[in-house]
Structure 1
Amino acid sequence: MTETVNTQTPAIGYFTEENSVATVNARMGKDVEPRLATVMASLVKHLHHFVREVELTQAEWEYAVDFLTKTGQICSGERQEFILLSDTLGVSMLVDAINNRRPEGATENTVFGPFHVEGAPVREMGDKICLDGKGESCLFVGRVIDIDGRPIEGARIDVWSDNAEGYYDVQQPDIQPKWNNRGVFVTGADGHYSFVGIRPVSYPIPDDGPVGKMLASLGRHPYRPAHMHYMIRADGFQKLVTHTFVGGDTYLTSDAVFGVKKTLVAPFARVDGGDTLWRSDFDFVLVP
């Protein structure tokens, strides 16, 4: 009986500790989509260098596999633990920053977050978005302008925030009214916007899963500073996804997901004798 011998010689020889990156990347086919090839080759390179740098133990490798397995197992239609992991490691903000570079003076982007809902009702300027009657009332007011300071007409301002107890309506569908602390406002010729919500409160991200345990083991808290979400779209301009943060919040410099940018910290001024307890002025500058 004649033994069949494989005479095809791989581009790189047998796997060794020293040539691990070259050996793995050499197995990639010739007709792989170029961007995929670039991303995967770099991933292998940095992943192998990380393992080599820290001299990862077998027990640590097994722990990492178990951590990722549990991260996947807790994911559902309402919860995405892998995005939470990305957020808390600063990866989400880095991707956002790379993909939303803007000139000086333009309003900066920040993370979208998991609680936006399409289809919020279009409301009249000055309307109230808080439907549960809880929290300290706040007038949000300002303009949507271009980089040269000209008002933008027809900008759709989609806003949403947590309630006074730190929960979004989609987290408590049987407790909060539908569309609580949500609304869409469309600017007129002057670019002005105004609506009445509540002064947002800080809240913890879900910390009962693997990511929460990771934060605790690293001595990190799970809190986000108080903020109002905005998504602003206007014809001829880049979409803006951002927050305004409550100035003076305890967690501004330790946001669990690294979403705070100095330019997005907004004034929240106490109002004496007004229709609301607070007022927050902020102009949004869009880029063509």
Structure 2
Amino acid sequence: MTPDPITEQNRRSWNAVVPAHTSHRADEAAFLRHGGSTLFPEEMALLGEIRGCRLLHLLCNTGTDSLSLAAQGAIVTGVDLSDAAIAHAQALSAASGIPATFVQADVYAYLAAAAADGLRFERIYAGYGVICWLRDLTAFAAGIARVLAPGGRFALMEFHPASNMFSADWRLAYDYPHGGAPLELPGVGDYVGAAEGGLSPSGFLPGVRDFTNPEPCTLYRWGVGEVVTALAQAGLRLRELREYCYVNGERPFERMVPATDRRWHAPPDVPAIPLMYGLAVEKDSDDE
């Protein structure tokens, strides 16, 4: 199969930024080895009990969330497009002593191959900047439905598309995302450095400064209704849909106010709007 050229370019953009992102995180292996976790309560509530579950983490990036899930007793497989991210995840698994399987693959290719091989997972998770990399929501949802075990659950934690209507200085500036409209950007940015610790629970390091990505990328703009509809049309039953007027970890706007547990809120002069959403869908226990 001929690789999708946009996907290949996105892979190069992610490969370029991974060293910048990891440069801001102090000894992740020791942090994880001694019981540290990069997870937030919101995604854990949506996932439910994971101990002993086969758990597939899609678009897992450098694997810290995957290993945090594995440390809680899940049998984890992490999948990501970026070679550099997967290499880091594999090294981190070895250094931390937390076992997990990491696979470099386009998410669509992985889901198709997993379904063909008869793989099934009781839990599937994706979170924080996932939907914008999906060129085909229908195929993504159908792929999840095929590899989700009967009675299993898919949980998504995501930045709210309503927040994408605002500029960095909180001005209403853009249309609501919909239809998978492509958005070309100069490249994946160093949002880990910009978060100044929000995405570095192991400890923040100055690391790479003034990073400029030499590889451009393309995102896809989808609305919440389109995500929910794609999952429902794949035969998955909605269990929860929640919206949050704060952001976990990342700091996408100016003048954001830090709160406890690496959360960021809008400044007092900005009305509260949903900045994240989370959902959980389930496959009926008699479905196969």
Q: Same fold (TM over 0.5)?
A: no
Q: Which has the higher helix share?
A: 2
Q: Give the TM-score category using the shorter length.
A: under 0.3
**What TM-score do you get using the length of structure 1 for normalisation?**
0.24
> Greater relative contact order: 1 or 2 (C-alpha under 8 angstroms, separation 6 or more)?
2
Larger Cα-atom Rg? 1
